[in-house]
Structure 1
Amino acid sequence: MTEIILLNPYTERDAPRDKQSILDIRGKTADGELINVEIQLFNKYDTEKRTLFYWSKLYSGQLQEGQSYKVLKKCVTINILNYSFLPNSQYHNVFHLREDRSDIPLIDDMELHFLELPKLGDHAAPVESG
């Protein structure tokens, strides 16, 4: 079992005019991997851009001036959506950085999950009443 430590949900701004991001849940595993969980009840559009923006803030926020890029840890974003988003029937989709033809991974530091609750209906176990 992996312990997750909850962190401050506010991301750092690089400059006073930068957009402030407030993550729904921000955590860190014992290995230092960062996790962001976002819950969206309504489709506010630009889901993929918002996801990458939040992921990039989490990733880049790990480094302080003068630190080596080697200290960067994997960041995982989990989007729980109350609407259909991707054009398939899968309710859980996972994205990574991979080369298109050979599927070789570039780096494992990015992992994006999309859980689409409306698509879960066909896959959910029946609930027994009693």
Structure 2
Amino acid sequence: MPTSDIPDIIHLNRLNDVFFKALLGSEERKTLTLNFINAILNREGSNAFTSVTFSDKEIVPPQIDGKRSFLDVLVEMNDGTRVHVEVQVLLDEYMANRSLYYWGRIYSRELEKGDVYANLRPVITINLLDFDQFPQYQTYINTYHITNDVTHHMQIFVDADACPVIRQIERIARKYKVPVTLLCDTNHVLTSDYSTVKTIGASADAVDFALINLCHAGDVVVTQDFGVAAMALGRHAYAVHQDGWQYTDENIDRLLMERHLAKKTRRASKKNHLKGAHKRTAADDETFCRKFERLLQYLVNPQGFQKSMR
């Protein structure tokens, strides 16, 4: 074929607004839209959606002077679930706020005067972004739900100064797709191809307080510092020692008292020194890995963990 007959190749950004709406927002390609949604939501077999109906994409404000919004794609699935697909190429630092606003408006407009709340149907928002909205998560797809404080998207925070099990933590966390943050002071240099590394000032307890300020209920904190563990428990986080055992409300007071008495003994005698920790062995690391993975199994999938224990 003569080169003159070869059509020019047009390079398109597949997240281009016009292109995307023509591809997935048209009645002629509704099968493609259906397949796309099932693929993104991992819907297969009997759990897969079987049909889509395109809905009005305009969100009309309840007041005359309210904000009017136009969605990219809004469809209703065969079971009544509404799925909103939004594309954003340019960086929008308030994308999370905007997404929640759209989601809430779609959900609330389901009811008319006199309807009962039982008529409300699920609403799912899919955002396709050409920028890194959450740089702390090294994953291409992040899924969020409305949850309580205990079951929110869990993170692992490691008091990484002299922590001997950093790589073991990362290996297990990667397996269960749980993000990890390593915190160390300026006297240590850490690098990682998985975790987020935060270097804190070298002042006393700076790393400890930075870690506690970051963690939330349901997160996992790995530390050998009993004080940090106590503060983590106070925030309803899970606290784990580098040997694999858990700090709990039942043992933390005893541990703090033992630390206090040991410090008092050291100050009282300059000649007598307490014996330091034993040299770490491969068996210690294996014990940590076994206990730590068991904890993550439970936190990531409590129901599946209970079934595996039967």
TM-score range, shorter chain: 0.7 to 0.9
Match of 1:89 among 112, 117, 138: 138
Task: Indicate the residue corresponding to 2:90 in structure 1.
Answer: 42
Q: Percent identity?
A: 27
Could you say what secondary structure the match of 1:48 adopts?
A: helix
Match of 1:9 among 57, 80, 83: 57
Asked if 2 retains the 8 angstrom alpha-carbon contact of 1:33 and 1:73, the reply is yes
What is the Cα deviation at residue 2 of structure 1? 1.9
User: CA offsets per residue over residues 63-118 of structure 1, 9 Å max, x none?
Assistant: 101111110000000000000011211110110112222x29xxxxxxxxxxxxxx
Could you say what secondary structure the match of 1:19 adopts?
A: coil
- Provide the rounded CA distance (Å) in 2 between the counterparts of 1:2 and 1:11: 26
Match of 2:70 among 6, 14, 22: 22
What is the Cα deviation at residue 45 of structure 1? 1.9
* Larger RCO, structure (CA 8 Å, separation 6 or more): 1
Could you say what secondary structure the match of 1:38 adopts?
A: strand
Q: How does 1:1-130 map to 2 (within 5 A)?
A: 1-86=49-134, 87-101=136-150, 103=151
Structure with more of its chain in helix, by fraction: 2
Task: Indicate the residue corresponding to 1:112 in structure 2.
Answer: none
Gaps of 5+ in 1: 105-130
Moved over 3 A (4+): none
Task: Indicate the residue corresponding to 2:155 in structure 1.
Answer: none
Question: Computing the radius of gyration over CA atoms, which structure comes out larger, 1 or 2?
Answer: 2
What is the Cα deviation at residue 17 of structure 1? 1.0
- Provide the rounded CA distance (Å) in 1 between the counterparts of 2:92 and 2:105: 20
What is the Cα deviation at residue 12 of structure 1? 2.5
- Provide the rounded CA distance (Å) in 1 between the counterparts of 2:128 and 2:113: 34
Could you say what secondary structure the match of 2:90 adopts?
A: coil
Could you say what secondary structure the match of 1:52 adopts?
A: helix
- Provide the rounded CA distance (Å) in 2 between the counterparts of 1:23 and 1:66: 27
- Provide the rounded CA distance (Å) in 2 between the counterparts of 1:56 and 1:36: 11
Gaps of 5+ in 2: 1-48, 153-310
Could you say what secondary structure the match of 2:142 adopts?
A: strand
Structure with more of its chain in strand, by fraction: 1
What is the Cα deviation at residue 44 of structure 1? 2.2
- Provide the rounded CA distance (Å) in 1 between the counterparts of 2:147 and 2:93: 25
